[in-house]
Structure 1
Amino acid sequence: MSCCTPSPDRPAAPLVLGERGTGTHHVPQVTVPDQDFLMGDAHGDGHPADGEGPVHRVRVQAFDIDATAVTVADFRAFVEATGFRTDAEQYGWSAVFHLAVTDPERVAGRMAGTPWWLGVEGADWAHPGGPSSAAENDHPVVHVSWNDAQAYCAWAGRRLPSEAQWECAARGGRAGLRYPWGDELPGAGWACNIWQGQFPETNTGADGWITTAPVRSFAPNDYGLYQSVGNVWEWCADWFSPRYYAQSPVDDPRGPALGTARAIRGGSYLCHDSYCNRYRNAARSSNTPDSSTGNLGFRTVALSISEG
């Protein structure tokens, strides 16, 4: 279980896909060129259990990726076109950070080991804090599981990025850096949406946001990607293993063949050095495919010619 995204204890639910390839994906695209790059943590910042090393050479072919995370408006179009119901809606609840709960009377319980995460009945992609809240169209969609993201991709004729594609895109062509912009947080101003204050009780909101920010709130990286770190975690296609990097192929790695959790990347508005130092290019974590939380979303990549 990631410290930043709890894995709700839920029975298995069937994966229901949208009608394949019938939707229109409106998120602007950026092109990541063919390249070799060094993948992994070159600074020793990572949590050993996350398996951010060893640093290894990876070769990717050019691909198009969403400039931003998929927004509430984008996901709403999918739901309205297909009638899709997310895992959170089917289960009747999702995980909400305690300061973001809008309906305390709907709290069903706390997540084991992370008491600041509450299971809230009626929390879902359209109601991120609870049933009386309303998601904002230009914010990243959250409370979407890996299963839900896969359903959107099937409808839109897209797919989730591999971990290698995600990290390559996040780095923006700048080798070995901690963050998309460099190795240090800015001395003045803010470059991403993360926690400020004393976790988990006080977030000063000095960067302008307490929970999610609109998807274009901070400057993009050199490829034109917005908020690849901070704001919300993003699902990747790969199964997760902390040992995978030691055996990863050079060409277009796609993760282990099997697993129990899917990789997530980028950190979120809850990341803080004292708690979850994962708002970095190399940082990685995981969650079970049916898990949904208030800080977990996704972006997509275009299908290759062989996949189309």
Structure 2
Amino acid sequence: MSVGIVLLATIAACSPEAEPHKAPQRLAGRECLAKAFEQGRFIALPSGSYVKGADPLYPEERPSMRLRVEGFAIQAHEVTNDQFAAFVKATGYLTEAERAATSTDPQAGSAVFARDAKGMNGRWVLRRGATWRAPEGAGSSIAGKGRHPVVHVTLADARAYASWAGGRLPTEEEWE
């Protein structure tokens, strides 16, 4: 059994007035957090600072530095298959994984996490035909998984979606 894995979390960050398809809703006071995850809802994050590289694990994470981030709004959940499907329907966009699926390159494909027969151990495998529409490869489907996070999306695909949605991707500093 294999499981499609999100190659890139495509969470569009934008100001509330930048979302042309659905006006983002903000949480009021102490509203139930579960309600925050309604599709299309944005959460306002305040300005603040943090220490980047506070506990550097790798040399490239040094030197440690205090960074300030201005407030912004971020979608409360990953981009769903339904949201991405609306983008594809409106634009005719073809993801990089979809282009790779039709390639003659024997090394073309997208990474899928495949588990052993007991469902315990697993490893990443390059699977030809794995796309956002077929998350486990040829023959799989997103039918009944409209609210699941879209998978097999590259940085370029995520940027195209965010631009269409009237937003942008969070910066590295905002994500941290």
Give me the TM-score of the superposition, normalised by structure 2.
Answer: 0.65
Query: What is the aligned counterpart of 1:125 among 128, 132, 148?
Result: 132
Matched, 1:116 2:129: no
Residues 101-138 of structure 1: per-residue CA shift (max 9 Å, x gap): xxxxxxxxxxxxxx933222221001110122122222
Query: Residues of 1 paired with 2:84 and 2:163: CA distance?
Result: 13
- Map 1:186-201 → 2, pairs under 5 A: none
Amino acid at match of 2:21: T
Residue number in structure 1 paired with 2:47: 34
Structure 2: give runs of 5+ residues left out of the alignment.
8-17, 23-38, 102-108, 117-121
- Map 1:73-152 → 2, pairs under 5 A: 73-92=82-101, 93-99=109-115, 116-135=123-142, 136-152=145-161
Q: Is the 8 A contact 2:131 2:152 kept in 1?
A: yes
Q: Is the 8 A contact 2:84 2:150 kept in 1?
A: yes
Amino acid at match of 1:24: H
Between the two structures, name the one with larger relative contact order (CA 8 Å, sep ≥ 6). 2
Q: How many residues align?
A: 132
Residues 182-206 of structure 1: per-residue CA shift (max 9 Å, x gap): xxxxxxxxxxxxxxxxxxxxxxxxx
Deviation at 1:96, TM superposition (A): 1.3
Structure 1 residues 40, 80: CA separation in 2 closer, same or farther (over 3 Å shift)?
same
Regions of 4+ moved over 3 Å: none
Q: Give the fraction of aligned pairs with identical amino acids, expressed as a percent.
A: 39
Q: Is the 8 A contact 1:23 1:78 kept in 2?
A: no
Q: Secondary structure at the match of 1:159?
A: coil
Give me the TM-score of the superposition, normalised by structure 1.
Answer: 0.39
Query: Residues of 2 paired with 1:22 and 1:62: CA distance?
Result: 17
Larger helix proportion of the pair: 2
Query: Residues of 2 paired with 1:65 and 1:22: CA distance?
Result: 11
Q: Is the 8 A contact 2:134 2:141 kept in 1?
A: yes
Query: Residues of 2 paired with 1:69 and 1:81: CA distance?
Result: 20
Q: Secondary structure at the match of 1:36?
A: strand
Deviation at 1:152, TM superposition (A): 0.5
Query: Residues of 2 paired with 1:57 and 1:69: CA distance?
Result: 28
- Once superposed, what is the RMSD of the aligned Cα atoms? 2.8
Deviation at 1:5, TM superposition (A): 9.3
Deviation at 1:53, TM superposition (A): 3.2
